[in-house]
Structure 1
Amino acid sequence: MTPERLRAFCLEFGASAEEFPFGPETSVFKVLGRMFALTALDGRPLSVTLKCDPDEAIRLRETYSAIVPGHHMSKRHWNTVTVSGVPDRLLREMVEDSYDLVVAQLPKAQRLRLDRP
């Protein structure tokens, strides 16, 4: 997946937005103000930090050497993924799961507006 595709995919989700709170080199993708993805789109290799269910995070780390505990994040809930080291389908699933985990923490009224009960 290219940086452009990663950006476009992250922005496909309802109410998602790209912000730069850590400087212009770091894209932070948020849903209603809460982060679900963090990446330096010009980084080599391209990597992205995503929220993950703690048990699934461990399983993924054991399965893929390209998935490690989240850099500068809660190691229990976040993974950093080297994009070239995982199948595109898996990366897409991980981004969507990250978004869904963050949405699940939103108040019910906000979740319903996003059509994600």
Structure 2
Amino acid sequence: MDRQTVNGYCATFPGAEVSAPFGPGHDIWKIGGKIFAAIGAEGRGVSVRCPDVETAEMLRDTSVCQKAPYFHRSWVLVPFATAEAGEIRHRIQVSYRVIRGSLPKKVQAALPAD
């Protein structure tokens, strides 16, 4: 998996938008103004949100994921080099659902159907 493939996959989610608020080379995917996936300029992997800190810790402990730099403990970095494509897709999907579900009901209602 690589940056281009992940960006293509993130673009398939209803209401997903990409931006580069941290400068060129950073691909930041948002839903309702909130980040659900981030690829840094180094392009080592994709940072995603987990449902909770415990899930993120379990993924780090089992070496499936790494600590996501600059993000809260509930976020993990899924490395492109070592993770299976299915794992990366699953983690992005979970992150999207967690972030979308945490948005205010008005914002959720204004988004395209999931």
Fold agreement, TM-score > 0.5:
yes
By relative contact order (CA 8 Å, sep 6+), the higher-ranking structure is: 2
Give per-residue Cα distances to partners, 1:43-66, cap 9 Å, x unaligned: 35x3111111222111111222x5
Matched to 2:18, the amino acid is E
Q: State how 1:35-74 maps to structure 2 within 5 Å.
A: 35-40=35-40, 43=42, 46-53=44-51, 54-64=53-63, 67-74=65-72
Q: Distance in 2 between matches of 1:3 and 1:10?
A: 10
Aligned residue number for residue 18 of structure 1: 18
Q: Distance in 2 between matches of 1:28 and 1:69?
A: 17
* Aligned residues of 2:32 and 2:108 also touching (Cα < 8 A): no
Aligned residue number for residue 2 of structure 2: 2
Is 2:48 the counterpart of 1:29? no
Q: How many residues align?
A: 112
Give structure 1 regions of 4+ aligned residues with deviation exceeding 4 angstroms: none
Q: Distance in 2 between matches of 1:114 and 1:51?
A: 21
RMSD after superposition: 1.7
Q: Distance in 2 between matches of 1:58 and 1:70?
A: 11
Aligned residue number for residue 105 of structure 1: 102
Unaligned runs of 5+ in 2: none
1:108 Cα offset (Å)? 1.9
Give per-residue Cα distances to partners, 1:21-80, cap 9 Å, x unaligned: 00011110001211011113x635x3111111222111111222x5112101112x1111
